[in-house]
Every structure is written in structure tokens, then in C-alpha cells.
Structure 1
Amino acid sequence: MPELPEVETVRMGLEPVLAGQTFARVKTNRADLRFPFPENFAKRLKGARVLDLARRAKYLIAHLSTGEALVMHLGMTGRFHVQARGEAHPHLLGDYETETTDDGRHLHAVFDMESGARVTYADPRRFGYMLLIPEAELSEHALMRGLGVEPLSGGLTADYLAQRAAGRRSDLKAFLMDQRIVAGLGNIYVCEALFLAGLKPSRRAAVLATRGGKPNAHAETLVAGIRSVLEAAIQAGGSTLRDYRKANGESGAFQHTFRVYGREGEPCLRPGCQGIVRRSTQGGRSSFFCPVCQH
């Protein structure tokens, strides 16, 4: 499943083609993805101008001149291609599939823009989806209303984490992956952020707060670690695990700088640490950590 940096990389690739542009024609090649396409999907998009292309958690949101928002989720294998006017070949914006086919069987939606650009969406496993939601209802929609703070926004502070963590018995990893607390974080970047903060994934979330519910040094260090990991990953174009590609068709590069994720049995990269990276299972997902410098 793509996490925040991968979705943000795709957003940055789509923005020059969609933002400020108008849909000339829209075609869907099937009735549904994970959910059915909205009723009259193509007709409702035709003639609509994209005012802004945003990201909320792991969702892409195109705010439209019609007063609706096109909400898109990539699922596990969703990918976009963009072909600008005059270009011979499309650019791959996101690819998470294990098998790549060129026969068009998995091409499910085509968006032709008045600029001459074409955006296509393919999804072999069809776990992605697209919805049209009235702007007035967007913040209270079931997909959005429960989301926590954006980790790269000013809302993520040590005080916020401490308030939410105080008294919690759940472990740090589950706490950070709870989309109701921090939106967009997933397994990879939680493992990496906890390493930077020197905190073991299995430690109780309450470690971030004093008995009075105030933030402590752990909370401060963790906020800095989350920001550092996400910013570096976006700069690198995300992480390539299987076939993910960034906006220009190249592989994301952040996986080459993983400090713990996927490094079971390898030496810890923290200067002076003699630990060996371990893997454990939490909530059915692999956690990677150094047992020596993460406490």
C-alpha cells in the first residue's frame, strides 16, 4: 500500500497536468473499481475545471469548479499515466503492481483534458477507487471526518502527540499508524521514524507523555523524526518496493537509505551502535528495529 510520500509524489506529477485545466472527455471502461464509479461520472466531470489538486492522508483530491471534489485512492496497485500534447509516450506516475501488462486489460479510466493532455488510470487488482463528493460535505464525509492531523502540517506537535498518547496501553507503532491520530503514516515510515527517535515499536504509546499528560523529550524527538523521514522520502520520490515509480517514470530512491526497514540481521547504522536489526510482527505487519539503541 503506498504511503504518504508515494501519494504526494504522484500528486506532484499530476498537478501540472490537472490543476487549472478542464476535463474535455472522460471514459470509464468498467462499472466499478473497489466501489462503483459515481453515477454519471463522465458527464459530471466533463467541462469541470480543476481548481486545485490536494492530498489528504493517502487520498488525492481534485477540487472542481462544479462544487464537487474528485477523491481518488490508489489502493494497492493503482497507477496513473500522463501523456501531454505532442509527447510520443506517457509518463508513469504510480505503479505498485507485481505484474505489468501492456494489453490494456487493466486500464479503467481515461481523462482527456482541454490542454490536449491525457491521464489514464490502471489498477490490476482494483483496490483503488474514485468518488465525487460535494465540497460542502467533504470534511464530514465518512472517509475524511475521522482523519487525524497531517504529519507535515503545524498540527503535528509534541503537545498533540502527548495529549493523544497519555494513558494509552497500545504500542507506539499501532498508535502512529492509527489514521485517526496521524493521517498518512504507514508501516515503512513509522519504523524509520521510531528508529530516529530511539523508540522501540512495541513500547507503549504513553511513553510520549508525562503523568500529567504533558509532552516529554520522547514526543519532541518523535515529531522531529516523523518530519525528517517524510521530507526525505518525498525528496527522494518515495520508496520503491516492487514496481513503484515516481512522476518521471524513475524508481523512487528512499529505499536505498532505509535505516531499519527490511534490514533484518544487518548491523545498526546509528554511529557507535553495535546492535543488529531485528524483525518482529505487530498487528500482522513486520516491524524492524535495533534492540540496542531503540528502547
Structure 2
Amino acid sequence: MPELPEVETVMRGLQRRLEGHILVRAVARRPDLRWPLPPGLAERLTNARVTGFRRRGKYILMRLADGWSVLLHLGMSGRMVIGAAGTNGVAQHEHLELETDDGWRIGFVDPRRFGSVDLVETAHEDSHRLLAALGPEPLEDGFSAAVLDRALAGKKTPIKAALLDQTIVAGLGNIYVCEALFRAGISPRRLANTVVGGRVARLVPAIKETLRDAIAAGGSSLRDYVQPDGALGYFQHAWRVYGREGDPCPVCPGKPACKGVRRIVQSGRSTFYCPRTQR
């Protein structure tokens, strides 16, 4: 599933093409994805003006001039494809199509149909059932060591699992949690309620730096993920531990006590870390 950097990259691509423009055409090719589409969605979007965008966790909000927002979630395999109208035909598994007044065509492609599209009043976006319980945005100033310390208090689950809990911090997924924990020197096995003091003070900036680096690189290309213009993300070439089982640790290559990057399974997901540097 695309994580925060991939969703941010997609949102920015949509923003460049749609913000300030009118949707002169909208087509919904099926009545549902993961859940039913809002009744009359295509009619609601036709001739609507797009005024702005916002990302919340792994969700994209496209704001319209009439006071409503389109809530988009890419799901497991969803992606947005953008091209000049008349030059890119309907793709396989394309379920929603938009066309702008300046000649751009946008398609929402989702082979596995785990994505979703909904409508919510812009003034009440944060009350939507999919957004109401989300934790703080990790790239905003409100996400601090003190905030995370309070959220982790009493949590006797591994810190890796705690950071994947979207009610603690929004938008983090398996890849970037592994990378942030490595940068912070914290073992993914450590219980969340013991990540205090210097550890939590290291972890918050490590999360922010990891996400910012990934966004700057255009996200990570993993399975079905591509940017809206079709270009791949390149952050996977900068992964320090994720997917690098058996490779030398980037921090302690050649150290006798270091056995390299190790892979373990936590809650059914692969975790990559260096036991020597992450404590």
C-alpha cells in the first residue's frame, strides 16, 4: 500500500494539473470500489471547480468550490494516471475519469479495487469516519517528542507495531517505520512504552527526515506504485535497511560484532534492522 511519501507525491501531481480548473467531464465506470461510490458522483463533479488539495495520513482530499471535498484513497494497487485529453485512452481497471477545462485527463486505476472515493463537506473533513481517529501528521510542527511520548505511554507492544497504528501517528507504513527506527538507532523489538527520553527525542526527527527524504525522491516504487505522470519513485535506492537482509549495515560495515541487516517478522510483516546499532 502506498505510504505517506507516495500519497504526497500523487497529491502534488494532481494539484499541479487540477487546482484552479473546472472538471468539464466526469465518468464513473462502476458503482463501487472498496465501498459504494457516492450516488450521482459523476454528476456532482461535472462542471465543478477544484480549489485546492490536502493530504491527511494516506488520504487525498480534493476540495471543490461548492464546499465539498472528494476523499481519495489509493488502496493496495490504486494509482492516478494523467495525460493530455485525447492522447491517453481508458486504461484497464480505470474506474473514474476526469477531464479539465485546459485539456488534461485523469484516470483512477485500481485493479484490486481496495481504493475508495467519497464526498465530505470541506468544513467537516476531519469528522469523516475514515479520518476522525487519525493521529497527528508527522511532518507538522504539532508532532513532537512530547506528543509521541504521551501516545506511547503504557503501550506494551513493540515500537514498530505502535508506529504503524494510525491513531498514534498518521501515514506511516512498514517501509518508513523500518527506515526511521534505523536512523534513530532504536530496535523494532523494543516495547513502545520504553521509548522515552533520548530515544523518543531521536525518533521524531528521524521520522521527519525519512519522510522528507522520500518525498524529495518522489516516493518508493514498490509493485504497482508510480507517480501520476508515470515516473517511478527512487527512494528505494536510498533504503538503508528495508529489503536489505544480509547486506552490511550502513553504520557499522566490517565490525566483527555486526552480522549485517537482519529480517524478522512482526505482526505478519517483514522488519529489517541491525541488531548491533539498534537497541
TM-score (norm: length of structure 2):
0.94
Match of 1:164 in 2: 151
Match of 1:277 in 2: 261
Alignment partners' CA distance in 1, 2:71 and 2:224: 24
Alignment partners' CA distance in 2, 1:89 and 1:68: 30
Match of 1:61 in 2: 61
Alignment partners' CA distance in 2, 1:264 and 1:208: 25
Note closer, same or farther for the CA distance 1:89–1:235 as it changes in structure 2 (3 Å cut).
Answer: farther
Match of 2:181 in 1: 194
Match of 2:128 in 1: 141
- Structure 1 counterpart of 2:260, one-letter code: I
Match of 1:93 in 2: none
Conservation of the 8 A alpha-carbon contact between 1:245 and 1:252:
yes
Match of 1:99 in 2: none
How far 1:242 sits from its partner (Å)?
Answer: 2.2
SS in 1 for 2:25: strand
Conservation of the 8 A alpha-carbon contact between 1:34 and 1:129:
yes
User: Is 1:47 the equivalent of 2:42?
Assistant: no
Structure 2 unpaired stretches of 5+: none
Alignment partners' CA distance in 1, 2:140 and 2:90: 41
How far 1:285 sits from its partner (Å)?
Answer: 0.6
User: Is 1:226 the equivalent of 2:207?
Assistant: yes
Match of 1:109 in 2: 96
How far 1:275 sits from its partner (Å)?
Answer: 3.6
How far 1:119 sits from its partner (Å)?
Answer: 0.8
Alignment partners' CA distance in 2, 1:271 and 1:290: 9
How far 1:247 sits from its partner (Å)?
Answer: 4.0
Alignment partners' CA distance in 1, 2:59 and 2:229: 20
Conservation of the 8 A alpha-carbon contact between 2:82 and 2:228:
no
Alignment partners' CA distance in 2, 1:207 and 1:242: 35
User: Is 1:293 the equivalent of 2:259?
Assistant: no
Note closer, same or farther for the CA distance 1:247–1:27 as it changes in structure 2 (3 Å cut).
Answer: closer
What is the aligned-residue identity percentage?
46
Alignment partners' CA distance in 2, 1:41 and 1:237: 30
Aligned residues between the structures: 276
Alignment partners' CA distance in 2, 1:116 and 1:165: 49
SS in 1 for 2:48: coil
Alignment partners' CA distance in 2, 1:242 and 1:124: 12
Conservation of the 8 A alpha-carbon contact between 1:20 and 1:50:
yes
Match of 2:14 in 1: 14
SS in 2 for 1:162: helix
How far 1:167 sits from its partner (Å)?
Answer: 2.4
Note closer, same or farther for the CA distance 1:103–1:140 as it changes in structure 2 (3 Å cut).
Answer: closer
Alignment partners' CA distance in 1, 2:47 and 2:232: 34
Structure 1 unpaired stretches of 5+: 91-101, 210-215
Alignment partners' CA distance in 2, 1:16 and 1:250: 15
Conservation of the 8 A alpha-carbon contact between 1:177 and 1:187:
yes
- Structure 1 counterpart of 2:72, one-letter code: M
